[in-house]
Structure 1
Amino acid sequence: MCSSRRGDGSLGSTNVAHGREVLPTNVKPVHYDLTLEPDLVKFTYDGTVIIDLDVAEDTNSISLNANELQIHSAVVSVEGAVVAANPEVTMNKDAQVATVTFGETIVAGKKAQLKLAFTGELNDNMAGFYRSSYKTAKGETKYMATTQMEPTDARRSFPCFDEPALKAKFTVTLVADRHLTCLSNMDIAHEKEVQGGAKKAVTFNTSPLMSTYLLAFIVGELNYIETKAFRVPIRVYATPDQDIEHGRFSLDLAARTLAFYEKAFDNEFPLPKMDMVAIPDFSAGAMENWGLITYRVVDLLLDEKASGASRKERVAEVVQHELAHQWFGNLVTMDFWDGLWLNEGFATWMSWYSCNTFYPEWKVWQTYVIDTLQSALSLDSLRSSHPIEVPVKRADEINQIFDAISYSKGSSVLRMISKYMGEDVFIQGVRNYIHKHAYGNTQTGDLWAALADASGKPIEQVMDIWTKNVGFPVVTVSENPAASSITVKQNRFLRTGDVRPEEDTTLYPVTLALRTKQGVDETAMLTERETEFPVADLDFFKLNADHSGIYRTSYTPERLSKLGQAAKNGLLTVEDRAGMIADSGALAASGYQLTSGLLSLLKSFDSESEFVVWNEILTRLGNLRAAWLFEDHQTRDALKAFQRSLVSAKAHELGWHFSADDDHILQQFKALMFGAAGMANDPVVVQAAQEMFARFAAGDLDAIHPNIRGSVFSIVLKNGGAKEYDIVLDRFRHAATSDEKTTALRCLGSAEDPALIQRTLALASSDEVKNQDIYLPLSGLRSHAAGVDARWTWLKSNWDAIFKRLPPSLGMLGTVIQITVSSFSTPAQLKEVEAFFAEKDTKGFDRAVEQSLDTIRAKISWIERDGGDVENWLKTNSFREKL
């Protein structure tokens, strides 16, 4: 029993601890014996569950979680004797709690047993025990039953004590047609014929102690491949419509990764097998169910001949992320959802750490600076962000924190600690943490204690400020030549640039990582509002070396110019250059620096040679162009011309032909520059894309290399019409791999013709696009004003249908709202969005609405502040006519 849970008697349906709605503590589950029989025709299932309970307090009721289940009967026993054969069962739908009340009081210390018979629906919401569909080669629709329990949907599958700290053991039995494959977390204990041989009952071995959200079971037609390269067997499963050999990359990687993690954590993987399953309908990227990981098809299966380098990197990262969870999350689990970051932040960090070990040539720590770190800083620069350790009280609040704060900022904090401690010492601290808390539950302080013990450093004192507070600082640097020193000052950073005094009270411990010609000083730390630091030679210095610190750095324009020159002189690492551009972009957008300074900095990088730096240059220019999307066409065309001037020469130099000699990064570099030039109307690239597409349309499916497939589709659709649209639509419908299908679906939004925009929106509304993929065609519409406007009209006109299709408690609705609304950038648009949602009950997606509104406000402020500055720079640099 964890300290965060405390009893309040036995008769209530919920126990409010720390303001949370949680179950009473009068009983504690020890073991579940669960039997389920799904019907893949009627989309229902029958179930019975027998729960062994320890009675902690005298009680005459048992409350447990249940949601959208029909409980038909209940039996309560004590020490083997029935005390209530048909007790009253009441449901609190809002709290998702079923309470079984009986006349006889069971005294504390007894062993009780609760048996429930129930039925449920195999829903199509990708939550709980649900149905997933795929099409056979003959076009017939087939179904499988699968699960997604995290965070609070085990209660949709069966009545249970659905809180992370209430760990128990599980024995699962699945009853299904004889030809179907049955899977669960554990291996099969025994199988027998039932119902006269028409069906089989498959019973799995009893699991270790685990949380309900990690339970999983699957029934369906599945093929598999297997490897015995690891100590226990590993299999990849997929439905018959997929080429199971496309699971080979993930299968081999899993065997290597499990062995690597066993050694890194000094702890054996405790389950007898590892299954990884590609699910046709899946709301997240993957789910770390212990011993039975489920994935989106596109995040597990990889056709290396038909997919680009970035897709391969994504698959590797997802597989290694989920396998890290087998220890960090599954073996050791946060005690409640406000500790979600312990799971997700660590698994994210570990996937980068292991990926770097396995594929050093991918240079993933460079990518981290423009990916994970920027994702964290972007969301956390909004007023509507939240702390890493965010208080959550109700089930409907939990889905909303599966975001860039829990994942990206969480992992960025861990990267900062690992740099501060040293990676080897950090891993030793993690080992100690896992050994001490195996099969138990923890809070953030338990991790800090293990890391402090391993390093001898005051980890909690330094790190609590980062996890318990929202936001991060901007560090402003001023120079004192006479004293050969710099003064650094920290303030809260907000993208809207309007920090109020009461929002700027937190003082962060900022690791300055000061780079000079002598190297990097890792000891300098800013803990006050403002401090002076000596710098021997002011000719060259830079803060936040390699950008592992979670802050923005604001230099004077003169220093920024000198740093641009230092970059050309080879004094800055790739991470330094990319991070400096990211900081400049964010500071310009929020009013700390002029946008003309950012444009001049980007212009000075035209001879840059590294993919990661170019990626960030184009991200920052893309953010500017997106903010100016509804401004006058001369300015928009001038920004496009500036992009063309930056990228065309590099795109032509690198080319768009790929060979076996191109390394992983070069492949992505060529693809990036080709796409950037083409979408900026570079005539050579546009023509090349159209020629490739023409050969492709004529039947040469190898005419477009997978690395540039999305760019070619987008360029051609942007410049084409219905004929090109129909060809790309056909690829969505008939391509051989999920990767190509989803690429085609996303690119359809690039078509700017009003009739084609309506076709894209109609497709998003149709059953042809799975709920898991609805965001793809919608996100494709963001590159042009007509698409953004039409998308908003679509959301308003179809609100009731969208709300019904994507229930707010499941997370996808919030994603669709953010995609649809966040592209706006004018005061009139802001007013319209505010008015629309003011009339709605936003429970379950209120964070998404607030963050979208904040994003619009930030762009409005940016344009009002720097509209004239951008226009003048474009005129002065001859990208726009001087009027």
Structure 2
Amino acid sequence: MPLLVDVEAWPRSRTAAPRQRRALSRCVRLALAGVATLGLALVGSRARGALREGARADMPPMLGHSTKGTGVDSRPLKPTSGGKHRELPRNPSFGPPIERPGFRPTQRPEVERQPAPASDVERLPNASSACTWHSYRLPTDVLPAAYNLVIEMPSLTPPAYVYGSVDVSIDRNASAPAPRCLVFHVAPEVQVDALALVLVSSGASADPPASGAGRLVDARIARYDAEWSQMHVELDEPIEESAILSVSFSYELRDKLTGLYHSRYTGIEGTGHSIATTQHEATSARETFPCWDEPGLKATFALVLHVPDTNGTVALSNMPAVSTRTLVVPPGRHGSADETDADDVPLARAQASGRWRRRLRAAARRSSAGGGAAAADDAVGDAQEEDKDKDADDDGDEAEAGWGIDGLDESLRAGRLISPEDVQREALPLKRVEFGTSPRMATCWRHERARCPGLRAAIARLPHGWRGRCHTAGVAAAARLAYLVAFTVGEFEAIRTQSHSGVQLSAWAPAATRQVARLQYALQIARDALNLYEKLLGVPFPLPKIDIVSIPDFGPGAMENWGLVTYRATSVLADESSAPGDRQSVACTVVHELGHQWTGNLVTMRWWDELWLNEGFANFFEQAVTNVIAPELMIAKQHVQYLSTALHFDSSPDTHAVRPVRSVASDSAIEALFDSISYDKAGAIIYMLHDYLSRRTPGAFVAGLCSYLTEHQFGSASGADMWEHLGKASGLPIGEWVEPWFSQAGYPLIEVTTLSDGSAVLLQVGRFMQDLTRTQIAFGGHATADQATRMQSWWVPISYFTSVSSEVHVSEIASSSSFFSIPPARKQRGGFDAEGSDWLKVNFKGAGYYRVNYPPHLWARLVQASTEPGRISDADLANLIDDAFALTLDGRLSGVILSLARALGIRTAHESTFVTSSYESWQAMSSGLTLLLSLVADATQASSSREGLIAGPGLDLIPSRCVGDLQRFVRTQALGRCLDPLLSESPPTGRAPPRGSTDAPHAAHASGTTHSRTQLEALAKPVLLQLASAMGDSRVGVWASGPLRPCLDTPDARCGAIEAIPPELRFACLDICAAFDVSGQCWQLVLGQLPYADNDPAYRWALLSALSRAPTERLLNATLGLVMNPAVVRAQDMGAMVSMLAGNSFARGARQIVWEYARANAYALLGAAGGAGSFDFGGLLSTVASGFASEEMAQDVETFLALNPVINEGVPARITRAVVGKIRSQAIWVQNYGADTCAVLASFHA
């Protein structure tokens, strides 16, 4: 039920949520009928008497006046000394905000408010010891059960403001003492204007309490902890059973990327449009409304939005809208014109109206009289007294014609949102949109085993081993989490479809952009994925609809809000004319987010330290499900890329376990968990486990997953719960096997050793760490006390095949103390002759999460076998290349990677279909060679030169010609003839768009035809072209500039020639032209095309990528000058743009120049992006600074962070250590092993 704050003592209160308001509107009829009345204690006799004294009763309590007995905390916000904080314009019907001691507005206006240290938290003078909680986690003495949330946005165009109220039904945890202090989350920028609490009996939280069940208690803010965004509310009485907390709040709708924020875009007609949208993961729900913002605290949510009632404005949320009603505010009034709507409108003015006051007084009298017969006897008298009050109240209503509150203090009008003149000039139309509450389902459980519904129909297309059985069950209620609550308001257009089970799917694009048609592909993928998920997992999607929404400004790639999935435009817009990579990215992202509807929304991790339960399974589904519903994308043949991303990130000694050992106890620590470990590593381990189980116990994986989801649906779970279900389904000790993978950082290295009898031994030699600053535990290496005492051990599933037999053999290494032996071929099938010419490849297609090292003679045989596509698959070769690069940078190998590069070139030249079967190999090779070039080039440029030699103190000398040798080697020995067929394809010519067309380039996309025969071929072409560009192959520069030459003289005019290039080559052509043209003509052309790309986010991103290729220092600095220009780079893209400039620019010393820019403009970047919550400076460090290879730069990074605590606080110490450690490790590699690599390169050209 709602808690309605006393309007007689507090005009700023808000109305209750829909069902409770309807209950209140019936209270008079219930009383007259002698039925039990609403037991809602509101005010004491002092406040009621004050109302009858005159107009001043509607004013908020004056400073220093006691509010004890009213149940309302009304302390005003203390003035701050800084003077730079702009106070929120006040709704004149609202009183001053509540004081939150300990809050200090920031002294840096360009960044968000800085949290006060824990020791600086103040306490109110009358605060007792009841509120002594001091922990990042909230106490568990009460649990939220239901939220009734009302949000009002009178305008979406800045300056715009948000006014809201929330009623939270909370239940006491029976295992904890009855609390006298509530602790919940509210962000510093949210102004709390009023709060109150009513105690109710157990079980009354979902419905209005019976007579006498509700009792208002004194609730005071004891303190506010800004560091953890926690508000502590002290109560006069403990919560014995249940209670309802009511909070009114307000804040500015800002241009940021978290909480409820403003997004803007320009339509095709050239006018600006505004959208208000939310992004709450991980800890930003508190920026939108006060809440218990933790993943383990599920509740039901009912939402009402009041939004501008303009043509085309759409309001979306997790649930469908159940009612929409126009609320016209006539001239001279700020509130609802229709008094019958007063119960539904969350405006303080409506609460102060005559009808509202009469209802509240009646409820107060009945509460004062108690329950039962006494309340019934008083009912008739109450009704008569209401009639006596009516005339006086109507007089008050006449006075309200000006501003709605009698005798409003003039001082409160100074910061008003809407002036009286504005109100007189025009009406303020709003519409009220009420959304459905989380659905409820039957509470019966069916324990019998049943096949997953519809699974038979999908089995034919499922990967090997994806079949199983599961439990089915009903549920009590579909509870949701605060971080999954979402809503979006703006002008949108939609297309729709329906799943096999009747779920309505809609895809929404901003109006006036002509983007909605390009949502068809994403909508199709979403429908097919939803159908497969329901068949596969055996648990139907519990909501009636799913909305897919493209947001112009959006921080992450997408957000899995239950029933309302929000996306960056680039992550959801694609059609048949889009680049193949764009279509694949959209498909994978949509499948990933749909997977979260089960693993993440239906069943949620209990705390953020098990985020991998959400993201790891979604990453796994991203591969497995996409491969089923979109086989043309050939995702199954691209797994090594997922594996490689995780292995490289996890090679650092400062990586973290999938399930962190240390407590996750800060916002920055939570945000830091959204990394490759939680996504890619967890997904790779799940992939490895699935691959192993599919060979040993087919069907067990799906069966265990089904039963896990069924048992824990609408609740929270842990990894142990998942392993328990998989163990029962397979009959294997899954929990024992996988526990080290999730509790330990890093991964193992498997060493292959051959013996004199022709056999081979596979031995787990400890954790692989790519860090030369520490002594490594390596086979035959040095084990110091620092590392030997921390020997780690894993259960490792082993798969291998040999040159003798292509059959895949599966076994396991149980621990570091065990090994696996492969006998000679003459003794056992599946063996091989180590003393002859035989070879073996361990880790079939990269299914296992580990690296493998071979003795030199086996590496040589594998290199030779790699030249023949029929002997080693593309996935296995990519896995070999990735391992070889890592082992080279670790100092274990020298020259092997260059031999593999030559072998790949020979292999590709021999293929009958251009690079069709070698995409993953070229992707791995390109990444490695580009990194190697960057290390050598940066080391050369950063060191002092002496007659062509780069000297390290007391170390080997690295010849400066090494960069040229490496580039020449790749051009001649690796790429060789591979580029000839591609460059022989003359650049296409096509028709330009119609004269005067303002459409994005997709108007002419059909004119560019795709020449590739498969997805892998289409993906491989730009990889080879970009690699050739990085290696200075002038042929690709000529090839790329050819089709663009007609546009170079008129760079600001729309270039139809760009649109005529086939989609698979278009963006590579732009990149390469900009990289090779030192005159800047291509750069100017790319810049001039940006105005024509406003409504094509993928094209706009390609143009930004091309700008980042700036070939000279002049162009690089010019591009850096555009980073914080919102007309060129959106806030969401600023960090990525800086990172691209560091890694892509061909200018000499580009990384150093970009780092100096980022260092000098750190605070400006934070402010331009919308604050620290919208800009990941840790990510910037990881991409920009981690590319250096000198001790000087390592110290520079440390010094910068030490001198800038505001930046440092937002970067977890683990990331700082990892970045600095990587710089030092790369410096040691350049000094110790760079000369050897350069010598090998020189030998190829001798």
- TM-score, normalising length from structure 2? 0.67
The higher relative CO (CA closer than 8 Å, separation ≥ 6) is in 2
Structure 2 distance, partners of 1:37, 1:567, is: 64
Structure 2 residue runs of 5 or longer lacking an equivalent are 1-127, 201-208, 328-335, 338-427, 439-477, 777-783, 825-831, 909-917, 941-959, 988-1008, 1049-1054
* Counterpart check, 1:848 vs 2:1215: yes
Name the counterpart of 2:168. 51
Name the counterpart of 2:448. none
**Counterparts in 2 of 1:636-675, with a 5 A limit?**
636-645=963-972, 646-655=974-983, 656=985, 659=1010, 662-675=1013-1026
Shift of residue 797, structure 1, vs aligned partner? 1.6
Name the counterpart of 1:373. 643
Shift of residue 790, structure 1, vs aligned partner? 1.2
**Counterparts in 2 of 1:811-850, with a 5 A limit?**
812-841=1176-1205, 842-846=1208-1212, 847-850=1214-1217
1:737 to 1096, 1101, 1104: 1096
Deviations 1:126-168 (CA, angstroms, capped at 9, x unpaired): 1111111111234333211100111111111100011111100
Shift of residue 526, structure 1, vs aligned partner? 4.6
Shift of residue 531, structure 1, vs aligned partner? 2.4
* Counterpart check, 1:778 vs 2:1138: yes
Structure 1 distance, partners of 2:323, 2:726, is: 43
Name the counterpart of 1:611. 919
Structure 1 residue runs of 5 or longer lacking an equivalent are 1-8
Residues 1:103 and 1:631: Cα distance change in structure 2 (over 3 Å):
closer
Asked if the contact 2:258–2:1173 (Cα under 8 Å) also holds between the matched residues in 1, the reply is no
1:396 to 639, 657, 668: 668
Name the counterpart of 1:71. 192
Name the counterpart of 2:679. 407
Q: What percent of counterpart residues are identical?
A: 28
Name the counterpart of 1:624. 932
Name the counterpart of 1:314. 585
Name the counterpart of 1:36. 151
Structure 1 distance, partners of 2:537, 2:820, is: 41
1:525 to 806, 810, 813: 813
Structure 1 distance, partners of 2:271, 2:1215, is: 37
Asked if the contact 2:131–2:233 (Cα under 8 Å) also holds between the matched residues in 1, the reply is no
**Secondary structure at the residue paired with 1:767?**
coil
Moved more, 229-238 or 651-660: 651-660
Structure 2 distance, partners of 1:587, 1:568, is: 21
Asked if the contact 2:217–2:235 (Cα under 8 Å) also holds between the matched residues in 1, the reply is yes
Moved more, 433-442 or 54-63: 54-63
**Secondary structure at the residue paired with 2:699?**
helix
**Counterparts in 2 of 1:482-493, with a 5 A limit?**
482=757, 484-493=759-768
Name the counterpart of 1:3. none
1:11 to 130, 137, 141: 130
**Secondary structure at the residue paired with 1:268?**
coil
Give the aligned residue type for 2:168: I
Moved more, 255-264 or 641-650: 641-650
Residues 1:722 and 1:514: Cα distance change in structure 2 (over 3 Å):
closer
**Secondary structure at the residue paired with 2:771?**
coil
Q: 4+ residue stretches of structure 1 with deviation over 6 A?
A: none
More helix by share: 1
Give the aligned residue type for 2:888: A
Asked if the contact 2:321–2:433 (Cα under 8 Å) also holds between the matched residues in 1, the reply is yes
Name the counterpart of 1:458. 733
Asked if the contact 2:1132–2:1174 (Cα under 8 Å) also holds between the matched residues in 1, the reply is no
* Counterpart check, 1:123 vs 2:224: no
Structure 1 distance, partners of 2:658, 2:717, is: 16
Asked if the contact 1:48–1:117 (Cα under 8 Å) also holds between the matched residues in 2, the reply is yes
1:688 to 1030, 1036, 1039: 1039
Name the counterpart of 2:432. 201
Deviations 1:633-685 (CA, angstroms, capped at 9, x unpaired): 52112211122122241122244565466221111122222222233232332
Name the counterpart of 1:447. 722
Give the aligned residue type for 2:305: L
Structure 2 distance, partners of 1:122, 1:802, is: 20
Shift of residue 487, structure 1, vs aligned partner? 4.6
Name the counterpart of 1:506. 792
Shift of residue 89, structure 1, vs aligned partner? 5.8
* Counterpart check, 1:277 vs 2:549: yes
Structure 2 distance, partners of 1:193, 1:531, is: 73
Asked if the contact 2:525–2:629 (Cα under 8 Å) also holds between the matched residues in 1, the reply is no
Deviations 1:423-468 (CA, angstroms, capped at 9, x unpaired): 6321221111100100110111001101111111111111000000
Shift of residue 814, structure 1, vs aligned partner? 1.8
Shift of residue 291, structure 1, vs aligned partner? 0.2
Give the aligned residue type for 2:1090: F
Name the counterpart of 1:382. 652
**Secondary structure at the residue paired with 2:296?**
coil
Asked if the contact 1:811–1:845 (Cα under 8 Å) also holds between the matched residues in 2, the reply is no
More strand by share: 1
Shift of residue 243, structure 1, vs aligned partner? 1.7
Name the counterpart of 1:421. 693
Aligned length: 862
Structure 2 distance, partners of 1:635, 1:485, is: 38
Name the counterpart of 1:5. none
**Counterparts in 2 of 1:199-598, with a 5 A limit?**
199-207=430-438, 208-230=478-500, 231-240=502-511, 241-305=513-577, 307-369=578-640, 371-390=641-660, 391-422=663-694, 424-482=699-757, 484-497=759-772, 498=774, 499=776, 501-503=785-787, 504-516=790-802, 517-518=804-805, 519-529=807-817, 531=819, 533-536=821-824, 537=832, 538=834, 539-569=838-868, 570-594=870-894, 596-598=895-897
Shift of residue 535, structure 1, vs aligned partner? 2.7
Asked if the contact 1:47–1:158 (Cα under 8 Å) also holds between the matched residues in 2, the reply is yes
Moved more, 130-139 or 164-173: 130-139
Moved more, 82-91 or 858-867: 82-91
Asked if the contact 2:750–2:762 (Cα under 8 Å) also holds between the matched residues in 1, the reply is no
Structure 1 distance, partners of 2:812, 2:225, is: 55
- TM-score, normalising length from structure 1? 0.94
Shift of residue 557, structure 1, vs aligned partner? 1.7
Asked if the contact 1:811–1:844 (Cα under 8 Å) also holds between the matched residues in 2, the reply is no
Instruction: Say which one has the larger Rg.
Output: 2
Give the aligned residue type for 1:833: V
Structure 1 distance, partners of 2:1100, 2:1021, is: 22
Residues 1:818 and 1:242: Cα distance change in structure 2 (over 3 Å):
farther
Structure 2 distance, partners of 1:485, 1:724, is: 56
* Counterpart check, 1:182 vs 2:315: yes
Asked if the contact 1:228–1:234 (Cα under 8 Å) also holds between the matched residues in 2, the reply is yes
Residues 1:220 and 1:597: Cα distance change in structure 2 (over 3 Å):
same
Give the aligned residue type for 1:33: N
Structure 2 distance, partners of 1:229, 1:86, is: 49
Moved more, 383-392 or 339-348: 383-392
Q: CA RMSD in A?
A: 2.0
Name the counterpart of 1:6. none
Moved more, 398-407 or 627-636: 627-636
Structure 1 distance, partners of 2:1160, 2:1139, is: 18
Structure 1 distance, partners of 2:1116, 2:693, is: 52
**Counterparts in 2 of 1:736-775, with a 5 A limit?**
736-768=1095-1127, 769-775=1129-1135
Give the aligned residue type for 2:859: L
Shift of residue 863, structure 1, vs aligned partner? 0.9
Asked if the contact 2:558–2:565 (Cα under 8 Å) also holds between the matched residues in 1, the reply is yes
Shift of residue 255, structure 1, vs aligned partner? 0.9
Structure 1 distance, partners of 2:1046, 2:681, is: 45
Asked if the contact 2:191–2:251 (Cα under 8 Å) also holds between the matched residues in 1, the reply is yes
Moved more, 620-629 or 45-54: 620-629
Residues 1:680 and 1:234: Cα distance change in structure 2 (over 3 Å):
same
1:26 to 120, 141, 150: 141
**Secondary structure at the residue paired with 2:278?**
strand
